[in-house]
Amino acid sequence: MKNLYITENTTFEEIAERYPYLIQPLLEKGVKVIVCGDVKWGTLGEELDKLGLKKDEILEELNEIARKNGGSVRSLRLDL
């Protein structure tokens, strides 16, 4: 079974923080992750429903991109 990185319950905050490379493909479909410099509230599924987009196809495409990119971005943050 393939890994599912992105589901309809994935928040925009999670996409921006862990999968920033998905922002451009979403923008190309008319889905904004960041509005006026702030991460949008809500889930990807809610927005896809609101926009009337094909949720299953988009989720499959985003997960394929995430698989090719090795999943979530790993960062090291040191608070000194």
pLDDT, tens digit, for every residue of 41-74? Answer: 999 999 999 999 999 999 999 999 999 998 998 7
Residue 34: φ, ψ to 5° = -120, 130
Using DSSP bridges, classify how beta strands 34-35 and 38-39 pair: parallel, antiparallel or unpaired: antiparallel
Burial of 16 (0-12, 13-18, 19+ CB in 10 A): middle
Q: What is the pLDDT of residue 34?
A: 86
Q: What span, in angstroms and rounded, lies between the C-alpha atoms of 49 and 12? A: 14
Q: What is the pLDDT of residue 1?
A: 46
Q: What is the pLDDT of residue 37?
A: 78
pLDDT confidence bin for 77, thresholds 50/70/90: low
Helix locations, the chain, DSSP H: 12-18, 23-28, 44-51, 55-68
pLDDT tens for 11-47 read 999 999 999 999 999 999 999 998 887 888 999 999 9
Q: What is the pLDDT of residue 76?
A: 53
